[in-house]
Amino acid sequence: MLKKTEHKRRRVSEIYFVLYLAALIMLLPGKNEKKGDSPLDQIIAVFQQSFSLLPEKNTLLCRMYTDTKGMKIIECDSSNVLLITGNVKDVSLECSVEDQDRHEVIKVDNSIGQTFGLQYDSIKKLVFFYWHPPESLFETTNSSRSYLVTIRAFARPDIGDNSTMNKIIEGVGSVLRTEAKFSISILAEGLGNEEQTKIVQMPAETTYSKVTVVSPLPNIQNPEDQNRKGQSSVQEFSLLPINSKLSNLSFQPWSNKIVITGITNLNDYEKKPSIRIGSISDGTAEISEIKTDALIVKGYAPKNSSMKVIVTAQRKIDNKELSAEFVVTSQEAKKPIYPLYMYPGLTYQFKSGLPFMREVRSLLKNGNSVLLSSPNGSDFDFTPEQSDIGQTLTFERQYNGATYGQLFTINIVPYPVPEIIKESKANGYALIEIKTMGINNGKLNRSKLLVIDGSNSNCIGPQELFGNIKQDEKKLIRVQQFKFMPKDPSKPMKITVKAIDDFGKSSPNKTIMIDPDN
């Protein structure tokens, strides 16, 4: 270990010595020296090449459901992490967000209540960007939004303890600059939203940070800069929940993550972080894991209400105590709506009865095969085919990937047999109405009325009254009307009939009598 340490120190010293000699030599005036291409600029260019700001994600996506009551969050990517590379110091940041729909630019200043925020960890050289959807979105509909986030970083070359080189570079007053861009896309889905989904695609060249040298910046503030002035170099202490609002089913498990900055090891905590529920609730909350950069919290949602969860942590070095809070809301599941059986060609609606949330899914399955899958517990329709007759389907509701409640079975059955639904007599004749259901070769099923007994008696008919046909295309129902009358109105008429449809199915027999004496 000792040899490796000495070798590392000697190598760093050699690099600084070479840079120092190079600086002295290049400061000598040349005959053909060009303005803007001084030896010092060439030294700074070495640091310039390595200074960059690299975002973890190029797009933050937020999906929201819109209906007549406003908007609800389905899922939301609320944070991004950017890495600062290169040998630099005195880092300062600027952040602006452009609303590309309203053509407005918002300057991020971390003020209370602002939609966007920025934090910098100087030890890990990480920039944390976080945001939440504007409150105005929850009161409107049809409001997809697109934002372009630009983060600029300013710094000075870090050449270690070489005071001479420091004086040379600081004397010129040049500052390195880099910037990174990424997008935020809010997608409105659901009732009444007919506008096309808009996702901002970043140009290929902005995937990498651009590096330039700019004029000196006034009042560059950074913990390292404060340390040189004899002030505290303690990093800003903060607690930030990843999700400010969680939606769950009653008594189902929930979890959240509290991002922490200003803690480098577990001994930096003055005491064990605590968690409590803000008011009386039948829900639960606990801290399941304590890390240097985060707290993992979990619990069970209340029955049908909201509960405020408050997490508190205290830092040992300055006794600073902070609290972060978020809300866990819950909704009870309703009784599902589904058909007890289905006929081919008819469209049936399935309603899960579960609240609209991303953890919820409803499925219609045939054995292990999924016929339909509806995310977020949305309603869906299903139309079986003739080939499905005799099969048994399963309607399943899921929460967090597991079956929720019981499974519901639905049989796909053949069309019912024709039915003689009405018989009437008036003015010496009889009328019979037959209801037939189904579809055959793309046409509504229909029936014939056959006289099976009494055809040679005192009877004329049956005569179909085509002008009296009633049809319901959605329910696949046809109602036909047939007329019978006696040959000799002074004599009684007695016949037995039945209806036979296009599939060869027949109704029960029906006896019809007309007695002139009654």
- The verdict on domain 341-412 having CATH code 2.60.120 is no
Instruction: Provide the pLDDT for residue 485.
Output: 85
Architecture of domain 419-514: Sandwich (2.60)
Q: Phi and psi of 215, rounded to 5°? A: -65, 160
Instruction: Provide the pLDDT for residue 365.
Output: 93
Distance CA 270, CA 313 (A): 8
Q: Considering only CA atoms, give the Rg of the chain.
A: 39
Q: Which residues pair with 369 in a beta bridge?
A: 366
Instruction: Provide the pLDDT for residue 169.
Output: 63
Selected residue with higher pLDDT from 302 and 48: 302
Q: Are 225 and 90 in contact (CB under 8 A)?
A: yes
Residue 476: how many CA atoms within 13 Å on its side-chain side? 21
> pLDDT digit string (tens) for 66-101?
665 566 666 778 888 898 888 788 888 999 999 887
- Is residue 166 pLDDT above 50, yes or no? yes
How confident is the prediction for the chain on average, in pLDDT? 78
Percentages helix, strand, coil for the chain (3-state, rounded to 5) are 15, 45, 40
Distance CA 129, CA 183 (A): 12
Cβ neighbours, 10 Å, residue 340: 9
**Tally: H helices and E strands in the chain:** 4, 37
Q: Which residue has the tokens 């991004």?
A: 80
For residues 401-428, average pLDDT: 89
Instruction: Provide the pLDDT for residue 426.
Output: 78
> pLDDT digit string (tens) for 100-159?
878 888 888 866 557 788 888 888 788 988 887 776 665 555 567 889 999 999 888 877
Q: Is the dihedral of CA 209, 214, 220, 223 positive or negative?
A: positive
Instruction: Provide the pLDDT for residue 193.
Output: 46
What's the chain's length in residues? 518
Amino acid at 85: T
> pLDDT digit string (tens) for 436-487?
999 888 889 999 988 887 756 778 888 888 888 898 888 899 999 998 888 8
- What residues does each domain of the chain span? 39-231, 234-331, 341-412, 419-514
> pLDDT digit string (tens) for 8-40?
444 445 555 555 555 555 555 554 544 445 555
Task: Reduce the DSSP state of residue 341 to 3 states and report it.
Answer: strand
Architecture of domain 39-231: Sandwich (2.60)
Instruction: Provide the pLDDT for residue 182.
Output: 93
Three-state SS for 187-221 is: EEEECCCCCCCCCCCCCHHHHCCEEEEECCCCCCC
Instruction: Tell me the angle at which helices 39-50 and 163-172 cross, rounded to the nearest 10 degrees.
Output: 100
pLDDT band at residue 200, thresholds of 50, 70 and 90?
very low
Tell me if domain 341-412 and domain 419-514 are identical in fold. yes
- Is residue 3 pLDDT above 60, yes or no? no
> pLDDT digit string (tens) for 218-244?
333 444 444 444 444 566 788 888 888
- Is residue 340 pLDDT above 70, yes or no? yes
Distance CA 266, CA 466 (A): 87
Q: CATH for 234-331?
A: 2.60.40.10
Question: Which range has the worst mean pLDDT, 109-118, 200-209, 342-351?
Answer: 200-209
What lies within 8 Å, CB to CB, of 86 at 6+ separation is 47, 50, 51, 52, 155, 176
- What's the pTM? 0.50
